[in-house]
Chains A and B, each alone.
Chain A
Amino acid sequence: MPEYIEKYYTLKDLWKSVKKLPSDRKYLAGGTDLVISLSCGNDKSSVWLDISDIDRLKEIKEDGKNIFIGAAVKISELESNPLIKKWASALSECVKYYASPSIRNTATLGGNYANASPCADGVLALAALRAKVMLNLYDKRRVVDILSIVKGPKKIDLKKDELIEGFIVSKEERKSIFMKMMHRKRFGIAKAGLCMCYKLEKGKLRDVSISLSSVAPSVVRAKKTEEYLEGKNPSKAQTKACQLIREEISPLTDIRSTSDYRMRIVSVFLSRALCSI
């Protein structure tokens, strides 16, 4: 349990004071995962830094080429924001599958990413969107590919105090499909999920990206299948693509599903996605 929580409204204030705080510190954004660790007695940090009201982290804005989505943007905001709907529709689509309405009002996209869960719905959408993540350490920024620092369940390669400032999605006119299998209709964790972004030009697929959840230690891209689908007619390529995508993954059997069932789901999802185009 933290001994105390410091609340910040600007990045400037955060960077001014952060180094003076006890070294076992943690960021608190939505809190839907972190606060549970408090109830379970699992959290050993002595101070939490509440970043949920830092204005910069709540921004959704655009420039000429990209949109920026702040790390403290709530999941529920992704559903109806016009910029997200236009340029990152996979994120809007993931919302209805994401936990419950009240959790969506609290949880943040940055938290979903930081938690580095292999079944993270927001990360599944960000990966298919080929998003980049903007990291900030003492006001020095670096931008990296979304999956490049995710190393496994709960493992994310951030430096001490490095803050997830937000996500960058390039403005591309691509359509998206989001699918998730869970043990009940709503408010469940994915047995497997698939998100696909693509363009269709004269009946041929272009610029395809496919991400998968709950089939590897982190969300992954199905790059061989993406390559195969490039320039293909979606219905004609269906059989081979569904076979390829099974060969790309080796999911585990665990409490939520079996390896075999997960492979089948992914294959069926891709088949349904290609049929729907």
Chain B
Amino acid sequence: MKKFKLECEVNGKKVKVEIDSSLRLLDFIRDVLGLKGTKEGCGEGECGACMVLMDGRAVNSCLVMAVQAHQKRIVTIEGIHKHKYGAQLQESFVKEAAVQCGFCTPGFIIAAQEILSKNPKATLDEIKEGLAGNLCRCTGYENIFRAIDKARRKK
């Protein structure tokens, strides 16, 4: 397996590492960097549990090769609190009981971060549209919608 010298920024820190070029971004984040907050759900872009920000845009890290993150800025759930809305969203998810098993939560928070950073006045319908790629199987969506809406109002 030929190696690739990957250089990128993860949660504000420069990373320079030689990797197998066949790694997905998700595998790189979890297995090489040891950042286990990003989850693997379906592995085919349906559930959104693996979402991270790449150059400020939410992407499914199970559908992106690590090589494609070369010279890009990556933000995972571990670094989201440094961003506008990030810490507020985390707090709001806890307060509104928008977390049950928690497996989908990192993806929802990353998606919500993108929704609010693109549109700070997002309506409830726009929030729902923005979450079209995130599945939750236990908490239920209403608490999640409310948590994002409250985080938006507080900022």
Chain A residues in the interface with B (C-beta under 8 A)? 1-5, 7, 28, 30-32, 35-36, 38-39, 48, 50, 52-53, 76, 96, 99-103, 105-106, 186-187
| Known A101-B58, A101-B111: A96·B129 in contact at CB below 8 Å | yes
| Known A32-B45, A36-B63, A106-B60: A101·B1 in contact at CB below 8 Å | no
Judged by a CB distance under 8 angstroms, whether B78 is at the interface is no
Q: Which chain A residue lies CB-closest to B4?
A: A5
Q: Which residues in B have their C-beta under 8 angstroms from that of A76?
A: 57
Cα–Cα, bound, A2→B67 (Å): 12
| Known A3-B22, A100-B133: A35·B62 in contact at CB below 8 Å | yes
Other-chain residue from B4, B24, B59 in contact with A105 (beta carbon distance below 8 A): B59
Establish whether residues B132 and A35, one from each chain, have CB atoms under 8 Å apart when the complex forms.
no
Other-chain residue from B21, B24, B65, B133 in contact with A102 (beta carbon distance below 8 A): B133
Q: Which residues in A have their C-beta under 8 angstroms from that of B133?
A: 99-103, 187
Q: Which residues in A have their C-beta under 8 angstroms from that of B130?
A: 101
Chain B residues in the interface with A (C-beta under 8 A)? 1-2, 4, 21-22, 24, 43-45, 48, 51, 54, 57-60, 62-65, 67-68, 70, 111, 114-115, 129-130, 132-134
Establish whether residues A102 and B70, one from each chain, have CB atoms under 8 Å apart when the complex forms.
no
Q: Which residues in B have their C-beta under 8 angstroms from that of A53?
A: 68, 70
Q: Which residues in A have their C-beta under 8 angstroms from that of B68?
A: 28, 31, 50, 52-53
Establish whether residues B44 and A36, one from each chain, have CB atoms under 8 Å apart when the complex forms.
yes
| Known A35-B64, A103-B60: A186·B129 in contact at CB below 8 Å | yes
Cα–Cα, bound, A106→B133 (Å): 13
| Known A4-B2, A100-B132: A106·B63 in contact at CB below 8 Å | yes
Other-chain residue from A5, A36, A48, A106 in contact with B59 (beta carbon distance below 8 A): A106
Cα–Cα, bound, A50→B67 (Å): 8
Cα–Cα, bound, A103→B54 (Å): 12
Q: Which chain A residue lies CB-closest to B50?
A: A102
Q: Which chain A residue lies CB-closest to B132?
A: A186
Establish whether residues A5 and B62, one from each chain, have CB atoms under 8 Å apart when the complex forms.
no
Establish whether residues B58 and A105, one from each chain, have CB atoms under 8 Å apart when the complex forms.
yes
Residue of B60, B114, B134 with highest tally of chain A CB at under 10 A? B60
Establish whether residues B44 and A5, one from each chain, have CB atoms under 8 Å apart when the complex forms.
no
Residue of B24, B67, B114, B134 with highest tally of chain A CB at under 10 A? B67
Establish whether residues B57 and A105, one from each chain, have CB atoms under 8 Å apart when the complex forms.
yes
Establish whether residues A101 and B60, one from each chain, have CB atoms under 8 Å apart when the complex forms.
no
Establish whether residues A2 and B43, one from each chain, have CB atoms under 8 Å apart when the complex forms.
no
Q: Which residues in A have their C-beta under 8 angstroms from that of B63?
A: 30-32, 35-36, 103, 106
| Known A103-B45, A187-B133: A5·B21 in contact at CB below 8 Å | yes
| Known A39-B44, A39-B62, A102-B111: A4·B132 in contact at CB below 8 Å | no
Q: Which residues in B have their C-beta under 8 angstroms from that of A50?
A: 65, 67-68
Cα–Cα, bound, A7→B1 (Å): 15
Establish whether residues A102 and B51, one from each chain, have CB atoms under 8 Å apart when the complex forms.
yes
